Amino acid sequence: MTESPSVLKIRLPGAVILDRGFAVEAKLDPATAGNRLVQVQVLTEPPQRADAGEIIPGPILCSPQGNGRDTAEQSLDEFRRTFPAAFCFGRIVPQDSDGITLRMYAREDEPLSRLVLDADQQRRLERLWLELKYIGRQEQKENEAYPLFMAFASQVGLVPKFEPLREPLRLKAAAFQKEMETSEPRHLEKLLEFAERAYRRPLSQQEKTELTGLYASLRKKKNVSHEDALRGVLARVLIAPAFLFHLEHSPPGKEPKPVDDWELASRLSYFLWSTIPDESLRASAAAGRLHDPKILAEQTLRMLKSPQTRWLAIEFGTQWIHVRGFDDLKEKNERLFPTFDASLRSAIYEESILFFQDLFQQDRPVDRILDADYTYVNETLAKHYGIPGVAGQQFRRIDGVQKFGRGGILGLASVQATESGASRTSPTLRGNWVSETLLGEKLPRPPPNVPRIREEESGTDGLSVRQLVEKHASVAECAVCHVRIDPLGFSLEHYDAIGRFRDKNSAGAKIDCRAKLKDGTEFEGIDGLRHYLLTKKRDVVIRLFCRRLLGYALGRETTPADAPVIDRMIAAMNKNGGRISAAVLEIVASPQFRLIRGSDE
């Protein structure tokens, strides 16, 4: 007998314990144990001193007459609650060893909810479980599966064990069925609410009557369930012209009149978000307040700050610079550019989207289109660009990228790769892109039977792409256009056919990116082109951007009658530090955006 804590040393001859086990039996003295908890260890070396209350591996001894056992169990339970073995059950569908189960799924997320989720996340989790209950119909299906389950149970003599489940399962299934039947009218109400969102306006009484009448007629048919009838009504909603088309009602007469609030909400939402109005916009329309200039401006600025402007970046930004769907661009020579795979194409495209999303969402000055000294990259794209210190596939903003030949739309690999051939660069395509996209100069189509330039840079008798193009442009019938666009493209020759910056071409020749325009202006490289556009051609570029943005917002080509709106857009930006939001506000306040022509015009 010994007092705790203590160490008992027992020396045993090696010959005695060789190939044998050593067992120790430890007991507490009932007379002195009280509420104490004791642990025992068998070691081959002296133990390190343990602090009082510290639990070590091994059993815990306690007296059945004391409170120590309850204290220990409470402590261990609290530890298990704080540090559970897992946050969720490994399989949501439980199975026994034979693969036979009566339960459809098991729920074991209490530790996850208690320890990790906040109140909003807990409510969302409960909502998901409620949806699973309705979709999965566990109570009904378990009751239906019970007879088959009992047939298997009878084969192994377990009927008495599971027979008590019969009545509880039946009652739960009946209660669930009653709950479903009670909720059916609410389902139809929700479907009508969905139709209002789909049509982007309140339903007329006639439309409500037609949809509810369709549901009632379907339910009267044999073997048409509540769910099948709802699907039929949903199909009717999704093929209705009010859903498929952007319908607006022209007022009688010849004079243009304001569109109604719901139509204005749709115009604004599809302009900025390419989707139906959200609840805030719907609330303003329902209150008849959206035509209030102050409310319209507030909604516009709110929407511009939303992540939903990603769709404005895609549908306007990437289409404007002709890189929409770049991730599907596969027309590159795989032998020459093996790194141009799906992962790289996706990263290049995402950079373009994030650049325009940042432009609108952060309300950047319009000059950032050209002079931005930042971009968005992940590790894949940073490696492609030669930008160091970027790890991981998460996109992040990187500043100071002009020294790497990036920044603004001129530095986007999506632009440089799109305006190139499959195996080499194309100064002509790139120059034409600058001329048309940034300067608005439309060139005539090339004459027929124009000789083609060799597709690859190799096998050209030492001539660079620039020299091949210059030779091609010396033909009289070609020179009239090439003299206008080729110099602009020559300034971007530092970029290869997939947008990588380079100092030499594939043949090892040094890149010549000097440019001399028809008017005698000279510059070199992307920096020179950027400076030329921001100084001598800034007004042209900004005006064309405003024209394209206005045309996108109106869903049509702009006309000379739209010139006053474009003038106001430019003046508003100049007055507000070039901010994009100033131009957008002028668009949504314009008669072109708010009015509709009379039906007699």
The torsion defined by the Cα of 113, 119, 122 and 127, in degrees rounded to 10, comes to: 170
CA distance to 152, 153, 173, per residue, from 168 (Å) = 20, 18, 9
**Of residues 573, 514, 564, the one with CA closest to residue 542:** 573
Can the peptide bond before residue 147 be classed as cis, meaning omega within 30 degrees of 0?
no
Task: Measure CA 391 to chain center.
Answer: 20
pLDDT exceeds 70 at position 601:
no
Tokens of 309: 């402007």
Strand, coil or helix: 365: strand
Output the six-digit token pair for 312.
């404005």
What pLDDT, on a 0 to 100 scale, did the predictor assign at position 480? 65
What are the b/e assignments for 250-278, b being 16+ CB within 10 Å? Answer: ebeeeebbebbbbbbbbbbbbbbbeebbb
Residues 197-241: tens digit of each pLDDT: 999 999 999 999 999 999 999 999 988 999 999 999 999 999 999
**What percentage of the chain has pLDDT greater than the value 70?**
91
From 10-19, 290-299, 321-330, 509-518, the region with the lowest mean pLDDT: 10-19
pTM of the model: 0.78
Q: How far apart are CA 415 and CA 360, in angstroms?
A: 20
Residue 363 CA to residue 481 CA, distance in Å, equals 37
Distance (Å, whole) CA 214 – CA 272 = 35
Nearest to 547 by CA among 410, 440, 442: 440
pLDDT > 60? residue 65: yes
Q: Which of 220-229, 472-481, 581-590 has the lowest mean pLDDT?
A: 472-481
pLDDT in tens, 310-361: 999 999 999 999 999 999 999 899 999 999 999 999 999 999 999 999 999 9
Token reading at 401: 């990228």
Instruction: Answer whether 376's CB lies under 8 Å from 396's CB.
Output: yes
H or E element at residue 226: helix 226-238
Report the sign of the C-alpha dihedral through residues 519, 521, 527, 530, in that order.
negative
Alpha helices by DSSP H, listed for 419-524, are 427-433, 465-473, 476-490
CB contact set of 416 (below 8 Å; sequence gap of 6+) = 425, 430, 492, 495, 496, 498, 499
Range in 271-280, 466-475, 518-527, 532-541 with the lowest mean pLDDT: 466-475
Task: Indicate the Cα dihedral angle 523, 526, 529, 531, nearest 10°.
Answer: -90
- Residue in the structure block whose two tokens are 């666009």: 485
Tell me the two tokens of residue 113.
Answer: 């909810």
Q: Specify whether the CB–CB gap between 494 and 502 falls below 8 A.
A: yes
3-state secondary structure of 257: strand
402-452 pLDDT, tens digit each:
999 999 999 999 999 999 999 889 999 999 999 999 999 988 776 666 666
The C-alpha atoms of residue 542 and residue 485 are separated, in whole angstroms, by 20
Q: Letter for the amino acid at 348?
A: I
